[in-house]
Amino acid sequence: MPTEDELFAAVDALLEGEPEMPPPAERGRLREAAGVTQARLAQVLHTSTQTVKNWEVGRSEPRPPRRQAYLRLLEGWAEKYPAEPEASAMPETFTGSIAQEAPESRAVSAGEAPAAAATPAEQTTQPRPEPAARTSSALRRPTARNTAPAGGADPRFENGPLAVVDIEDGQVLAYCVGGLVLDVPAKSIPSLVDWTLKEARLGQPKLSGPGKDADPLLVLTEAALERYGLPVALTDEERLAGRIPEGHKVIKQLARAEWKLTKRGFGPWARIYRPAQGSERMCVQLCIPSWNALDTRHWGRAAQLAPAELARLLGTFASRVMTPRGSTAVTGLELMTAFHPPTRASEPDATGKRHSEHNPGSLGKDPVDCAPCEAPDGHPLLADLPRFHHRTPAEVLVEEAYDWARPLTDAECLRRNLVGIDVNMAFAAGANGLVVGLGAPTHVKNPVFDAKLPGSWLVDLSHVDLSRVKVAKDKWAELDGSLLPSPFTPKGERPTGPAWYATPTVAYAVELGYDVRPIEAYVRHDNGRYLDGWYNRLRDAYLATMADLGVGADLPPEEFLKAMDGYRQRDPQLAIVVSVIKATVKGGIGKLRERPRGEGWKPGQPWRALARPTWRPDIRAAVISRTRINMHRKIIKHAAFTGQYPVAILSDCAVYTADGPSPLDFLPYRDGKPLPGGFKLGVNPGLVKWEGTQSVLWGEGVREQFNAPELNLARYIKDGTVTDQDTGE
């Protein structure tokens, strides 16, 4: 046991404590009074200029051994350059009020990173920060869990959802959103994971009540990969496998430290975890751009950005959509689950204990079988079919986007231009308010069609005649049906007999004024608007980012077209965010019917995706069906009012002939108001924008050159480039 003298000595030392540092503003004043630059001071103390700047704005405090040297220097300067009375340290009462001030009302000093509580819009509309102030995460101490500060930010994730890890002058730095830079003490991947979970304060709050907080994301630059013993690029064999070998030294380091990898292994999007203890998750995700984690089709040149810029780009997407979880398709699917987790905590039982139970409105935690007609070729449900059997429309549900074109009429050939219009976020708009099945299908013979019941219906729609359709209540229109695509098939061909359709397609036949008599159906009585939260999140992200790029909602048509002209050049990084948001929509819908991806799969055998409750081809079919029907409805309204018909449609792009080069040369606006139910120019999902204009002579010349009278000109309307490969030559 220590003696009384030893205890008193220890207590006295504790009472004395470390000498206090001058206030941040005083540090800067003393340095300036001495005529020393921040760069010179950083050189003397063997640190970076940004670290000195951070000390002087109060974002961080120096640590030993620099603390003692810095304090000695400041004390020496204080003797030489004493403060004027009015410039002395602030009274305690004033500093106390600053400490209690809400983050959003706190003034940001020059060079200081924006407050963590800044909204996503504020983060992206502010001028791009200079190389940010660096702080030592070791000095940050967690506050009470689930206690948000006055600004609304979660204190557990005060440094944002992610960080880009890079090496600068031999130091490991983590570039966070808002311009913040953290010093990283970790010398290996296992210690980097430990640091991230214990000190970095990275992550993102859950999007729904029963959901889970997003795991922190670390993006490793090439320099960081070299520092931590990982290859800068994957070999061809590793790229094909999607991961580095199990025997790699870094994987062995993780195993020795009792960290685990998910089944995908250590690849471009690696997840490193330990089994959760209670409600505490212990998981960190890595993103490795040089391993092609950021697909250039959607992320453009993001992988080549400087660390701070990449952190801004990824942080903007994370704050507006969610922290990326992998490819845009994976992220799109994970976003659906984030709004409707499969389980939730039950009410307390008699002992006060809660249990996991099904979360109403979700797809549940167990996969359900699709209907045989909804199963893609090779599915286990079709294992008994002959090997080379080709299923007819009466055997398989084919709900796909439009790929249709027709020859131009003589009158259309006399017009000068082909003008393409494109529906904004078409598949997102198709998901908006859509009722989809949540559980397994029920097979019904000779059912009465119910437009409110999601499912797949075997029905003959060959009697629907597009030359006479209902365009409003008790109002019919006479049209030239030969110039219109059928709404019931992707190629626009008129059905010749019974075929399987999703509910929105059959409902549209009824809307056009025709009776339907299904032969059989697979319906889902357990249903709901599963995609509403997903749609709203992506819509808001898209509109906010487009507004930052100068394209606001509700602009008059002329102003909208002007705002869209060159919007990507106003901020190329935000333009990438727009591209990724769109890809997240399409990829998420496509992932609902993910096909086999190698792994030795053979037809008739299950593949990995079938084990997911989110493998739901019926939901994908319903969204695509509704998207195609939305397009056709606008085409019918436009044709009935103007007598103009599209010459080509590709997915969400339609091409019309016009005398002028602008969409306003054929869209029927009156006093700035569009045709009700027709095409409307605007940025909102479901409205249209200008896609491109080419001459009619170009279109006819291309078709003649490739001997393809019905070549889909919508595919090339944007830039007019057509290759032999595109036409199958």
Q: Could you list the mean pLDDT of each consecutive 10-residue stretch along the chain, which spans 729 residues?
A: 65 60 89 86 82 80 83 88 59 32 34 37 40 41 31 78 94 93 95 95 93 95 96 94 94 96 94 82 95 96 96 97 96 97 88 88 95 96 90 97 97 97 98 97 97 98 96 92 97 97 98 97 97 97 97 95 96 97 98 90 93 97 98 97 97 97 94 92 97 96 90 95 62
- pTM of the shown model: 0.81
Q: Clarify whether residues 228 and 312 are in a common domain.
A: yes
Q: Clarify whether residues 237 and 284 are in a common domain.
A: yes
- Output the pLDDT for position 388: 85
**Strands in 188-323 per DSSP E:** 217-220, 260-261, 269-277, 280-287
Q: Which residue, 289, 322, 355, sits at the end of a domain?
A: 322
In a domain, 561, yes or no: no
Element (H, E) at 701: helix 696-705
Element (H, E) at 654: strand 653-658
Q: Clarify whether residues 134 and 255 are in a common domain.
A: yes
Q: Clarify whether residues 195 and 74 are in a common domain.
A: no
Q: Clarify whether residues 187 and 316 are in a common domain.
A: yes
Q: Which residue, 306, 322, 338, sits at the end of a domain?
A: 322
Element (H, E) at 547: helix 532-548
Q: Clarify whether residues 303 and 207 are in a common domain.
A: yes
- Say how many domains are in the chain: 2
Q: Clarify whether residues 123 and 96 are in a common domain.
A: no
Are the C-beta atoms of residues 483 and 409 closer than 8 Å to each other?
yes
How many Cβ atoms from other residues are within 10 Å of residue 219's Cβ? 26
Q: Clarify whether residues 273 and 314 are in a common domain.
A: yes
In a domain, 22, yes or no: yes
Q: Which domain range does residue 286 map to?
A: 119-144+151-322
Q: Which residue(s) pair with 469 in the sheet?
A: 477
In a domain, 548, yes or no: no
Q: Clarify whether residues 292 and 261 are in a common domain.
A: yes
Q: Clarify whether residues 138 and 91 are in a common domain.
A: no
Residue type, 170: G
Q: Clarify whether residues 65 and 167 are in a common domain.
A: no
In a domain, 201, yes or no: yes
In a domain, 357, yes or no: no
In a domain, 407, yes or no: no
Q: Clarify whether residues 124 and 166 are in a common domain.
A: yes
In a domain, 538, yes or no: no
- DSSP SS3 for 432: coil
For the record, the structure tokens of 549 come out as: 């790029």
Looking up residue 59, the CATH number of its domain turns out to be 1.10.260
Element (H, E) at 358: strand 356-358
Q: Which residue, 322, 355, 387, sits at the end of a domain?
A: 322
In a domain, 307, yes or no: yes
